[in-house]
Amino acid sequence: MINQQSPFIQKAASVTNIMLMVILALVPGLIFYVYFFGVGVLLNVFVASLTALIAEYFVLKMRKLPPKVYLSDGSALVAAWLLALSIPSIAPWWIIVVGTLFTIVIAKHFYGGLGSNIFNPAMIGYAVLLISFPAIMTKWPSPIENSLSIESIRQALQVFFYGLTQVGDGLTSATPLDYIKTELLQGQILPDITIRNFGLATILTSNQIISLAYLLGGIVLLHKKIISWHLPITYLLSLAFISGLFHLIDPNNYSTISFHLLNGGTMLCAFFIITDPVSGPTTPKGKIWFACMVAILVYVIRVFGGYPEGIAFAVIFMNICVPLIDNLTQPKVFGHG
Amino acid sequence: MLTSVLVVLFLALLIGSILGFSSIKFKVDGDPIIDKIDSILPQTQCGQCSYPGCKPYATAIAKGEADINQCPPGGEDGVRKLAELMGVEYKPLNEEHGAIKPKSIAVIDEDTCIGCTLCIQACPVDAILGSAKHMHTIIEKECTGCELCLPPCPVDCIDMIAIQESTENWKWKYPVFNIKNQKQRVSH
Amino acid sequence: MNIIDTIFKFNGGIKADTKKSVSTVRPIKKIKMPKQLILPLRQHVGKVAKLKVNIGEKVLKGQLLAEADGNVSAAIHAPTSGTVASLEKQLIPHPSGLPDYCVTLIPDGKDTWIEKKPINWKKIDRKETIKKISESGIVGLGGATFPTHLKLNNNNEVKTLIVNAAECEPYITCDDMLMREKSAELVEGIRLALHLLGAQNAIIGIEDNKPEAIEKLALLIKNDANISIKIVPTIYPSGDAKRLIYLITGIQIAKGKRSTEYGMQMFNVATIVALYKFIHCGEPSITRIITITGKVRTPNNYEVLFGTPLSDLIIDAGGKASKNGSFIMGGPMMGYKLPSVNVPVTKAMNCVIDAEPEMIENNNPVLPCIRCAKCAEACPVNLQPQELFWFSQSNQFEKAENYNLFDCIECGCCSYVCPSNIPLVQYYRYAKSEIISDRYAKEEADIARERNDFRLERLQREKEERAKKIAERKANTSSDEKSKVIDEKRKAITEALERVKQEGVSEKND
């Protein structure tokens, strides 16, 4: 019992509410993902959530904290969902389990639990998987027709439990970012590169529609004031600015603004990953600096770096700078200065 | 090869001269560490640390002759501050030097006092008012609670009264709530 | 005359359910004289008042019971005629629940006034009037209880009087009802205060949820060119002094600076009415309006004498004055839980809420801070409450001070919005308490060190003086004198020996 002092009234806000709203905002993107790429992602999300809750339960018991209270705050679920949506949906089951365990136990609880983790847990999980299992983590699915048919569900289950080698290679194709990067490296210029067609939708369009669905979810979060505008808007504007700048300078070798904004995990990052409150900055100016630097780093890694997608590393790198950013961007106190 | 040697030599000279210049320009006179230690000590001047006052104890700590956990009136807080200042590990208070007691003030029972001035000579902060064959009394505001006046009194007329909590010296307490027995959130 | 909406907005603040309409449906009520009146000697900021009457003495209504001790203090007057029964420690409205010295007055039922001496302020010197006000017991009735005569003293630097009619906290409606029912006294009081301060203009800052009061006041000031009304939006805490000044004038006053340095002085509406009553009617401060609200059946505002037992008011409002009940003095954002319902009404008590259980017992779990910074968004002083929380929780008081802990006005907006349900303000109060008591302990330690150093010096000095005296005495007897003394002694010994020899010989001869 704590309320023996003022204030004696409280707003009905809670951590659980915030986390649940974030998960709900991810649902539109998830639906389109299933529509284009099959139910593999649902399996990943389900197993990730289960692993996260069980792992967190045991760690909380070890730390002698009340499990019911801390499990119901939903933060483990959000981290698990973000990880599951970041990895290829055709990855075998043990990938997501290892990743989730790393996320929850090491990236979150070893650093102190809720509110004390320095790094974004989902991004740590993703980075660990990417570096440890590069072959599996770079095989992305190609769009499927009739993703909800019994045939494709069976296929998804087979891939999930037995891995790709058993089933065959026809299910994979490169992501747009990956494809464009390799083509450019081989000396092609952009107008000459064509993307393979897959019937209803090309891989390009499917990714773009999923990104737009995440954007929709993000706008709902902004409207409900779960996240503030500083992080997502600045991130998108900075990325647009830098990609537009390079595209203007050399349109043959640098992709367009819409390509960078609607492909890869940009929208997911803008509204769900950099807005993680625990690992991000707390001051408004700090948020703007943080988002700007993440955008620049993401672009640099994408275009000049070794990986096709740079979000995880960019976010982890900027997480290290957060205490410094917070310290340097303290707002002016009423009446001072 | 020659150029690299010359470059390193030049850098060494440059950095060396900067260091030398700083050591002369920013030199701190005297030994302020004793004063810094003394400013952490509570100035009760009770001698429980086995030194005749707070300044001698501070000097001993600075010389390394005394340990930091010999001052009960300073409490755990004082030991922590000393540990931080001296850059050593915190250790709990040494029981040999006395237990932590609540802050008290000495009071003379005027009916019993015989005016012998022995307590006046013992008080380290001159907090006792009086003279030979005249009434002695303790100036409440100046008394540090060191208890050095109790042993010399031949009629045992001095008592230590703990300072009571009143509306004048009341403080807000550290918020404490039970984490382990918390229940799930009741939705509004 | 103008009524305008303000344009400045401070960062943060919250919009809570105001719950004011329940206590404004009925007019201000008075209750019958209680059986005894208990008057604490400290109902104000500053030194405790000194008792001037004797136990058992009969006093008249308005008679001085205890006088102000020095400049920063206020007097206590008898709220009714009767007998002074005792001076002893009794339960007072204080968050600690500790008792303090109170004068108990038993009313004789006649309610006879002392001879009232109104002051013709238009004819008398300002300084004289302010001196008389210092004996009137008037303190800030908005809750701060700062002695008013100190705020009236200024060296002609105050140009604007700001009247605080905002009353931003939920549940409290005493100022609203005062403005509706005593608007004439208020406006006359404003004119008086303008004269006392030597100021030119008065601005009434009022929230937009008080349309009846605005209407009444607008009518009364329509011929005063120098009094105007500025309407502020209903956001808590717009009634905080510095926030209100910012809303009205756009000037931000930092901690440590006073509004007088910017040519402004602020008074609460109830204080101004008290000033009016004292100057015009000669009545010292013995009464105030109080809101009784919450779980009671008929929430209402009362015009109550100081010292009235709170239980009488609660029962009149249809509540239960039980020992297990929880009563909050002040508003739900900044008030505190009373130790019991058996406390007297004091100058600081502007509202008492008979609290619902969920206000007092918050069983929702406290989670760790998730750094969402919603508290920073809500803070009206633009502080970083999450940083202050981390430092206060870990007892790093120096860092907390660096992050401007003492600028915090403890308004409670941060705790209100925290999704982790952390009681943030409790940590700040604790940290401030500790820092202030540490400072005080350090001051005492410095004095003890000085006294000890002086004593050691004195002992050393006495030792040296003693040694010098002994050395001087030794040195004063020179060698010549010494040998003279020795010679004389030798002569005396030789003579004595001779005498003895002579006597021995003469004895032999006989």
CATH number at residue C257: 3.40.50.11540
Q: Is the dihedral of CA A282, A284, A290, A295 positive or negative?
A: positive
In percent, the amount of chain A with pLDDT more than 90 equals 56
Give contacts of A9 with chain C, Cβ < 8 Å: 16, 170, 332-333, 359, 416
Q: Three-state DSSP class for A114?
A: coil
Domains in chain C, number:
3
What residue segments make up the domains of chain B, in order of their start?
32-97, 101-166
Same structural domain for residues C429 and C444? yes
The distance in angstroms from the start CA to the end CA of chain B is: 77
First-to-last CA distance in chain C?
Answer: 140
User: Is residue C51 within 8 Å of C105, Cβ to Cβ?
Assistant: no
Residue of B nearest to A11 (CA): B188
Classified as helix, coil or strand, C44 is: coil
Token representation of residue A121: 């847990």
Residue B152: cis peptide before it, omega within 30 degrees of 0:
no
Q: Where would I find the H helices in C61-125? A: none
CA distance A296 to A291: 9
Do residues C307 and C446 share a domain?
A: no
Query: 0.80 cut: is pTM over it?
Result: yes
Cβ of A73 within 8 Å of Cβ of C246? The answer is no
Is position C472 within any domain? yes
Nearest CB to A69; choose among B175, B182, B188: B182
Residue C508 is predicted with a pLDDT of 67
- Asked whether residue A171 carries a pLDDT value surpassing 50, the answer given is yes
- Chain B neighbours (≥3 Cβ pairs under 8 A) are A, C
Sign of CA dihedral B40, B46, B47, B51: positive
- Provide the residue count of chain B: 188
Higher pLDDT, C129 or A146: C129
Helix and strand numbers (H, E) in chain C are 15, 17
Q: How many CA atoms lie within 13 A of B51 on its CB side?
A: 19
Question: In whole angstroms, what is the distance from residue A255 CA to residue A250 CA?
Answer: 9
Dist CA C498 CA C492 (whole Å): 10
Is C92's CB within 8 Å of B44's CB? Answer: no
Residues of A in contact with B174 (CB under 8 A): none
Q: How many angstroms separate the CA atoms of C506 and C488, rounded?
A: 27
- Structure-model confidence comparison of residues C376 and A306, the more confident one: C376
Calculate Rg over the CA atoms of chain A: 21
Mean per-residue pLDDT of chain A: 88
Whether residue B184 and residue A12 make contact (CB cut-off 8 A), yes or no, is no
Interface of B with A (CB under 8 A): 175, 177, 179-185, 188
CA angle C372, C374, C377 (to 5 degrees): 130
Per-residue pLDDT, averaged over A312-320, amounts to: 95
State whether residue A7 sits within 8 Å of chain C by CB: yes
In-domain check, residue C75: yes
ipTM, two decimals, is 0.89
| Structure tokens, A265 | 């995990």
Angle, in degrees to the nearest 10, between helices A230-249 and A284-304: 40
- Among the partner-chain residues C95, C427, C452, the one whose CB lies closest to the CB of B125 is C452
Q: Does A1 touch chain B (CB under 8 A)?
A: yes
Residues C32 and C114 in one domain: yes
Task: Nearest chain C residue to B145 by CA: give it.
Answer: C448
How many contacts, defined by CB atoms under 8 Å, are there between B and C?
78
Burial of A1 (0-12, 13-18, 19+ CB in 10 A): exposed
Looking at the domain assignment, is residue C353 inside a domain? no
User: Edge-to-edge strand order for the sheet containing C300-305?
Assistant: C300-305, C287-294, C351-354, C327-329, C336-337
Q: What integer pLDDT is reported at residue A170 of this predicted model?
A: 64
Contact residues, B window 29-88, toward C, CB-based 8 Å cutoff: 38-39, 41-45, 53-55
Let me know: does A55 contact A100? Beta carbons within 8 Å.
Answer: yes
Question: Do residue C49 and residue C75 come from a single domain?
Answer: yes
* pLDDT score at C480: 62
What are C82's strand-pairing partners? C59, C107
Q: Both tokens of residue C27?
A: 């007019």
- The answer to whether residues C95 and C227 belong to one domain is yes
Considering the domain architecture, whether residues C105 and C121 belong to the same structural domain is answered as yes
Partner-chain residue, chosen from B175, B177, B184, that has the shortest CB–CB distance to A72: B184
Burial class (CB in 10 A: 0-12, 13-18, 19+), B83: middle
Name the range with the highest mean pLDDT among A284-298, B109-123, B164-178. Answer: A284-298
By the 8 A CB rule, do C349 and C290 touch?
Answer: yes
What are the tens digits of pLDDT across the range B154-180? 999 999 999 888 888 888 988 887 777
Q: Is C307 left (phi over 0), alpha (psi -120 to 50) or beta?
A: left
Question: C106 - beta bridge partners?
Answer: C83
Residues forming beta bridges with residue C160, ordered by sequence position: C201, C264
* Helices A93-101/A75-86 angle, 10° precision: 140
Q: What is the DSSP letter of C120?
A: -
DSSP C335-358: -EE-S-S--B--TT--EEEE--HH
HSE, side-chain direction, 13 A CA sphere, residue C237: 21
Q: Which residues pair with C89 in a beta bridge?
A: C101
The verdict on a CB contact (< 8 Å) between B183 and C42 is no
Measured in angstroms, the CA of B169 and the nearest CA of chain A are apart by: 19
pLDDT of residue A167: 58
Does residue C33 form part of some domain?
yes
Which chain A residues are within 8 Å of C328, Cβ to Cβ? 6, 8
For residue C489, which amino acid is it?
Answer: K
What does the buried/exposed string (b/e) look like for B113-125 if buried means 16 or more CB atoms within 10 Å of the residue's CB? beebbebbebbbb
- Written as one letter, the residue type at A99 is G
Measured distance CA(A168)–CA(B64) in Å, rounded: 75
> Which three-class secondary structure state does DSSP give residue C163?
strand
Tokens of C464: 């040296």
Q: Which helix (H) or strand (E) holds C76?
A: strand C76-77
Q: What is the CATH number of domain B101-166?
A: 3.30.70.20
The tens-digit pLDDT sequence of chain C (510 residues) is: 578 888 899 999 999 998 999 999 999 999 999 999 999 999 999 999 999 999 999 999 999 999 999 989 999 999 999 999 999 999 999 998 899 999 999 999 999 999 999 988 888 888 888 889 999 999 999 988 999 999 998 877 899 999 999 999 999 999 999 999 999 999 999 999 999 898 999 999 999 999 999 999 999 998 889 999 999 999 999 999 999 999 999 999 988 888 999 999 999 999 999 999 999 999 999 999 999 999 999 999 999 999 999 999 999 999 988 888 899 999 999 999 999 999 999 999 999 999 988 888 877 888 899 999 999 999 999 999 999 999 999 999 999 999 999 999 999 999 999 999 899 999 999 999 999 999 999 999 999 999 999 999 999 999 999 999 998 888 776 666 677 778 888 888 998 988 888 887 776 665
Question: What is the per-residue pLDDT for A199?
Answer: 42
Closest to C102 in 3D by CA, of C318, C263, C307, C312:
C307
Q: Enumerate the residues of chain C whose CB falls inside 8 A of the CB of residue B85.
A: none
| Mutation target among C451, C456, C458 for the B interface, most CBs of B within 10 A | C451
Query: Is B165 at the interface with chain C, CB within 8 A?
Result: yes
Closest CA to C24 of C263, C289, C264, C288: C289
Which one-letter DSSP state was computed for residue C5?
E
- Per DSSP, what are the bridge partners of residue C228? C203
Q: Which amino acid is at C133?
A: I
Calculate how close chain B gets to C464, using CA atoms only, in Å: 17
Q: How many CA atoms lie within 13 A of A253 on its CB side?
A: 8
Cα separation, C256 vs C252, whole angstroms? 12
Sign of CA dihedral C452, C454, C460, C465: negative
- Whether C307 is covered by a domain: the verdict is yes
In the predicted structure, residue B188 carries a pLDDT above the cut 50: no
Residue B50 in contact with residue B70, Cβ under 8 Å? yes
Instruction: Look at B167 and C446 and tell me if their CB atoms are within 8 Å.
Output: no
Task: Please list the alpha-helical segments (H only) found in C231-268.
Answer: 241-249
Specify whether the CB–CB gap between C291 and C175 falls below 8 A.
Answer: no
Residue C305 belongs to what H/E stretch? Answer: strand C300-305
Nearest to A176 by CA among A136, A214, A206: A206
Of residues B173 and A165, more confidently modeled: B173
| CATH pick for B32-97 out of 3.40.630.30, 1.10.15.40, 2.70.98.10, 3.60.15.10 | 1.10.15.40
The percent helix, strand, coil of chain C (3-state, each to 5) is 40, 20, 45
Q: What is the pLDDT of residue A200?
A: 40
| Cα–Cα distance for residue pair A245/C468, rounded to 1 Å | 92
Contact across the interface for C451 and B53, Cβ inside 8 Å: no
CB contact under 8 A, C425 and A10: no
* A66-116 pLDDT per residue, tens: 888 888 888 999 999 999 999 998 889 999 999 999 999 999 999 998 889
Give the pLDDT confidence score for residue B187 in this predicted structure. 47
Residues C298 and C380 in one domain: no
Task: Say whether pLDDT at A285 is over 70.
Answer: yes
Distance CA C216, CA A102 (A): 68
In a domain, C242, yes or no: yes
C398 plus C420 within the same structural domain:
yes
> Could you tell me the residue range of the domain that residue C456 belongs to?
363-476
Q: What residues have CB less than 8 Å from B87, skipping those under 6 apart?
A: none
Do residue B180 and residue A64 have CB atoms under 8 angstroms apart? Answer: yes
Q: What is the pLDDT of residue A198?
A: 46
Q: How far is CA A22 from CA A12, A29, A101, A217, A276, in A?
A: 17, 12, 21, 8, 10
Using a CB–CB cutoff of 8 Å, tell me whether A14 touches chain B: yes
Phi first, then psi: give them for residue C351, nearest 5 degrees: -160, 145
CB atoms A335 and C332 under 8 Å:
no
Sign of CA dihedral A276, A277, A278, A282: positive
How far from A296 is each of A238, A315, B105, C483, CA to CA, in Å? 7, 11, 66, 106
Can you give the pLDDT at residue B50? 87
Radius of gyration of chain C (CA): 35
Across the interface, whether the CB atoms of A3 and C255 are under 8 A apart is answered no
Kindly list the distances between the CA atom of residue C333 and the CA atoms of A259, C324, C388, in Å, as whole numbers in the listed order: 51, 22, 19
> Quick check: helix, strand or coil at residue C43?
coil
Q: Is residue C433 part of a domain?
A: yes
In a domain, C133, yes or no: yes
Q: Which of A244-248, A260-264, B95-99 has the lowest mean pLDDT?
A: B95-99
Of C416, C425, C419, C429, whose CA–CA distance to C366 is shortest?
C419
Distance spanning both ends of chain A, measured CA to CA: 41
